[in-house]
Amino acid sequence: MTSFFSICIVWIAVCIGVLYAEGQIAVSAHERSTVVLPCKLKVVSETPYIRWSTDKEVFERSGKESFQGDGYEGRVDVPEDQLHNGDCSLVLKNLTLADKGVYKSYQAVTRVKRSALVREKWELINSVELSVDGKRTFQRRIPEISIPTGDARMNWPHPLVMVLSLLSCFLFR
């Protein structure tokens, strides 16, 4: 009886977590570690132009040209070959507590106008919430690579499935 109740509570918690993950990806990592913020291009073009920003500029890349924002110098990259394959994930090294925040990735939508490529607008691809934990700064080990806790592209259970599971929890109690 009590265990069934616990199962139901766990289920509710999982469902809430899943619903939250659906809207925004959450990534947490320790200070000084390396984190990969996931991103996949919607449109693979010849030279994709992508941008990552919080409330300030973080990183931009178009072909070989890239830009690293203030405070991110030498720590951020979207490797060129990776981007060429449609993967616009941001690699952020040596995390600091100040790096926490919501990171948004954008792809420039371009069109040809009078035989010149004109950047039309930035289209949002992904929104990733990064939290940085500073408790383990005393550890000096091999740098950790953090795996994102959620992936927006995965198919999460349909709300109906959740309702049915909850219902079955109470029925078989």
Ligand X SMILES: *[C@@H]1O[C@H](CO)[C@@H](O)[C@H](O)[C@H]1NC(C)=O
Note the residues at the interface with ligand X (CB under 6 A): 94, 96
Smaller CB separation from ligand X, 32 or 42:
32
Rounded least distance, CB 76 to ligand X, Å: 12
Amino acid (one-letter) located at 1: M
- What residue is closest to ligand X based on CB? 94
Least CB distance from residue 36 to ligand X, whole Å?
Answer: 17
What's the first-to-final CA gap in the chain, in angstroms? 6
Could you give the CA distance from residue 107 to residue 125 in angstroms, rounded to a whole number? Answer: 7
Please report how close the Cβ of residue 103 comes to ligand X at its closest, in angstroms.
19
Residue 102: CA count within 13 A, CB half-sphere = 8
The residue among 131 and 149 lying less far from ligand X, judged by its C-beta, is: 131
Between CA 78 and CA 80 the distance in angstroms is 6
Of 94 and 149, nearer to ligand X (C-beta) is 94
Strand pairing class (76-77; 90-92): antiparallel
CA-closest candidate to residue 130, choices 40, 51, 36: 36
The CB-of-57 to ligand X minimum distance in angstroms stands at 19
Contact between 49 and 103 (Cβ < 8 Å): no
